[in-house]
Structure 1
Amino acid sequence: MAASPHSPNSSFRRLRGQHSPAEFAAMVRRAAREIGETVSCDARYIGRVESGEIRCPNYAYERVFLQMFPGRTLADLGFSPREAVRGRAAQRALPAPPPGLTHLIQRSKESDVLRRAFMTGGSATVAAATLSLTLLGDTRRIPSRAGEAEAAAVEDAVRQIRLLDDRHGADALYRRAAQPLKTAYALLDAGATRQSTEDRLHAGAGELAVSVGWLAHDSGRFEDARSHYAEALATARVAGDAALEAHAFSNMAFLARDCGRPRESVRAAQAGRRAARSLGSPRLLALLALREAGGWAGLADRRACEEALARAHAEFARGESGADPEWMSFFGEAELESLESRCWAALGEHARAARHARRAADLQDPHFARNVALYTAELAGDLARAGAPDEAAWAGGRVLDLLTEVQSTRIRSMLAETARTLIPHQRSPRVGTFLTRHAQA
């Protein structure tokens, strides 16, 4: 399937007027300095905006653009809502709810308020925001047959988890997410009013199991993650849902790599590729090839790793497709660079890994705070092992700054390993400062 083209942002192009992209980029940087922001805007970035590749700017650029064009909204500048960009399927119109609004619809409205509070607040709002994950209510209020409203509520719970995880990591969310998952499967067990609704419930419950599994995975609860991923895979097999099956296998491959089972990682990635062949999503095939490459790297099979990386780059170059799953909205060039970095690190080529990790951190939009922290932590570890302790300490310091708002056991574990690697260099002022800050944190 051919990649679907981006819709050009003609509104933003009109605002540039007679200025060249480079001249306009300089205006953006100047406006950023005036309000205390730092953006690395250049002609290429302006081109990406005008082509429609960047459908919504990160928060720093948003503040700059609204400063440059007072009185206008992001929509006036030709951008899409951030929630729509985070999940492609969120753009599809959901069927109208049945007559007689249920308690689910009211809870959905309450969750919208909590989401807005979360996105505009700091770490103090995390606990309140996670209450939105109880959107589905409890199992005592399961209807005799699930309808469109219930299916929509399951799908919304998945999106909430992804949005919150992007901003703050998994640790604060995992236990809160257990109740929606339990309720989703109770709805599935109750049955649906029509087959199309039951199909949505199967897909939604399975995706919710993967999402909760990821929260367990990222917070270091590997056995819990394995159980949730297996539940998602079973749901996919029962429903004959190839897309869900590919997603479950992708995450199982990732988990196996993190658990030190590289051969299992390879086999899970290959199983995911078989499931994904008929879906028409080159980006999904690229991600699964990267998962496989990570497994081969863990087995120290450089040739097989390089072959898988080559497939990943070839599929990625085919571009986005309308068939790309919603959950893959995280997978852009930054994630590709990060996963390739992990391959080279596993093969012992830390300087090469550091180059890819640096690109990943530079390419990642800052409003995905968890991924910025992850990629920078990867960079710090690679630099420490590549014999660049001062640079590693600088990157580690950036991660410590980000960990004031991101809660991820995985990232903290990576940073702790970097700190241990840097102990022999603690006489360096920069390294010493980082180690002291890390110990205090």
Structure 2
Amino acid sequence: MVSTRPVPNLAFRRLRGQRSAGEFAAAVRRAAREIGEQVACDARYIGRVESGEIRCPNYAYERVFLHMFPGAGLADLGFSARETVRGRGARTPDADAPAHRTTPPPPTLHSDTDEESDVLRRMFMTSGTATVAAASLGLGGASAAALTSLPAQRRVGEAEVTAVEKAVRQIRLLDDRHGADGLYRRAAQPLRAAYALLDAGTTTRRATADRLHAGAGELAISVGWLAHDSGRFEDARSHYAEALATARLAGDAALEAHAFCNASFLARDTGRPREAVRAAEAGQRAARPLGSPRLLALLALREAGGRAGLGDRTGCDQAIGRAHAAFERGATVSDPEWMTFFREAEMEMLQAQCWSALGDWPRAARHARRATRFQDPHFTRNLALYRAQLTGDLARAGIADEAAAAGHAVLDLLDQVQSSRIRAMLASAVRVLRAQSGSPAVTDFVSRYAEAGAAVTGPSARPPAAR
């Protein structure tokens, strides 16, 4: 007779480490909130997992666990494959459900039930446009109840992939205009839906599958960027790792280069310059066969930023030289769509960042001035960002009155732009100006800053760099 005794999940127990079951359950609930999930995790649930009673988590818990342990799969966490635990045709009660539950509750977008993933899939599968993606970003009128009543699942095709791609463009457009702080939480829903499409595995053509992988990966990077710009650095790191894993799985060099580009930028912003250099170098290796000099230029500047953080002035200057040589080769049809922000203004801005990191404030200010002159007015967030960088560089260079004027220009835009990064940069510049003997221009700016309540209110007060 075959034993039905549960097999303890030792891998999951090792991941808990020295934390109690209750402490680990609290960490699970925090991780769920970070990605917009709701799970009723407690010490009893952790005990059931570790005892082997729960052989496979439901979809909501799965997303939380994979968020907590980037790069791991269910097998790495000690779980069995879903198809070996319950078949979709069986319609048995959820393996995570308490024994007394006889029927599952109505599913919602944040449901903790077995049907929840189907709801997320249908968000995209029933729309040939970005309507549902926009709704889940808070831009449309569709309610969660309406989404749960959509028709049953069908195969993933052109309409569904196009919806994912449009969601990516929508996020980028809103970020360019308004900054990340108000977007990050809302952007998590279309990201979950995109990965639910991948999990469904029902694409009919290889080309469609490739586009879906690329779209989901780009969406992960976009949501990671929103986390990055709003000071949620660990969330950003997780999303970038997810995008990199998707790129590797699909053999997508362009997506891999993009993921490494953003990972390098994040490493520089969080005080890991050596990691920033390594990620930028890996991105350049992935990008070389793609035929985009502009992409190579951006990655060289990411490397320069890392080398500046290491105090390597010679290496930084050499990387900037490579970036100029590549940039001057001009735009090509191979340039990625996401690089629309990378123009002369961004070139100047990233150089300003390098010289700031090396303490050459007058040189940094010269580049930041050029960035503000070259910037396209449609990129509202970058207008504020570049001027905040200029304010700080001028203040540290001792050019206080011009710094105050630049600071006023930032304050003029803060009612349109929500970015913890920009507020952190401006707050840092104000601290420098306050320490100097105040001219009437500086006093006026500092007073206006205080009255505007422009101090950082987001998750992080670190003064990070420009995009």
Q: Deviations over 1:15-67 (max 9, x none)?
A: xxxxxxxxxxxxxxxxxxxxxxxxxxxxxxxxxxxxxxxxxxxxxxxxxxxxx
In the TM superposition, residue 365 of structure 1 has moved relative to its aligned partner by 1.0
Q: Distance in 2 between matches of 1:335 and 1:104?
A: 36
Higher relative CO (Cα under 8 Å, sequence separation at least 6) belongs to 1
Q: CA deviation at 1:390?
A: 1.0
- Equivalenced residue count is 326
Residue of structure 1 aligned with 2:131, choices 101, 108, 112? 108
Confirm or deny that 1:291 pairs with 2:310. no
Per-residue CA distance 1:178-223 (angstroms, 9 max, x = gap): 0000000000111212111111100000000000000000000000
Q: Following the alignment from structure 2 to structure 1, what is the Cα–Cα distance between the partners of residues 270 and 304?
A: 16
Residue 32 (structure 2) aligns with: none
Task: Single out whichever of 420-429 and 320-329 deviates more from structure 2.
Answer: 420-429
Distance 1:137 1:437, change over 3 A: farther
Q: Give the SS at the match of 2:326.
A: helix
Q: Which one of the candidate residues 149, 152, 156 is aligned to 1:146?
A: 156
Q: Which has the larger radius of gyration?
A: 2
Per the alignment, residue 238 of structure 2 pairs with 227
CA contact (8 A) 1:178 1:212 kept: yes
Query: 368, 388, 413: which one pairs with 2:399?
Result: 388
Q: What residue number does 2:24 align with?
A: none
Q: 1:186 aligns with which of 187, 196, 205?
A: 196
Q: Is 1:163 matched up with 2:173? A: yes
SS at match of 1:300: coil
Partner-residue secondary structure (3-state), 2:384: helix
Structure 2, unaligned runs of 5 or more: 1-123, 454-467
- Segments of 4+ moved more than 2 angstroms: 105-111, 127-134, 136-145, 424-427
- TM normalised by structure 2 equals 0.67
Which structure is higher in helix share? 1
Aligned CA-pair RMSD: 2.4
Q: Answer yes or no: is the 8 Å Cα contact 1:167–1:367 preserved in 2.
A: yes
Q: Which residue identity does 1:103 align to in structure 2? A: T
TM-score by length of 1: 0.70
For residues 282 and 188 of structure 1, the distance between their equivalents in structure 2, rounded to whole angstroms, comes to 31
Question: Contact conserved, 2:126 with 2:151, CA < 8 A, in 1?
Answer: no
Letter in 1 for 2:430: A
* 8 Å Cα contact 1:242/1:275 also seen in 2: yes
How do residues 297-312 of structure 1 correspond to structure 2 at under 5 angstroms? 297-312=308-323
List per-residue Cα deviations over 1:231-254 (Å, max 9, x = no partner): 000000000000000000000000
Mean CA deviation greater in 423-432 or 261-270: 423-432
Distance across 1 between alignment mates of 2:431 and 2:327: 36
Q: Shift of the alpha carbon at 1:144?
A: 4.5
Q: Deviations over 1:90-117 (max 9, x none)?
A: xxxxxxxxxxx97313653995xx9xxx
Do residues 349 (structure 1) and 372 (structure 2) align? Answer: no
Aligned match for 2:435, one of 408, 424, 428: 424
C-alpha distance 234-337 of structure 1, shift in aligned 2 (>3 A): same
Change beyond 3 A, Cα 1:317–1:130: farther
- Trace 1:194-343 onto structure 2 (pairs within 5 A): 194-343=205-354
Q: Secondary structure at the match of 2:289?
A: coil
Q: Distance in 2 between matches of 1:438 and 1:231?
A: 39
Shift of 1:138: 7.2
For the residue of structure 2 that corresponds to 1:365, the secondary structure is coil
Taking the aligned partners of 2:440 and 2:176, their CA distance within structure 1 comes to 33
Range that drifts further, 361-370 or 244-253: 361-370
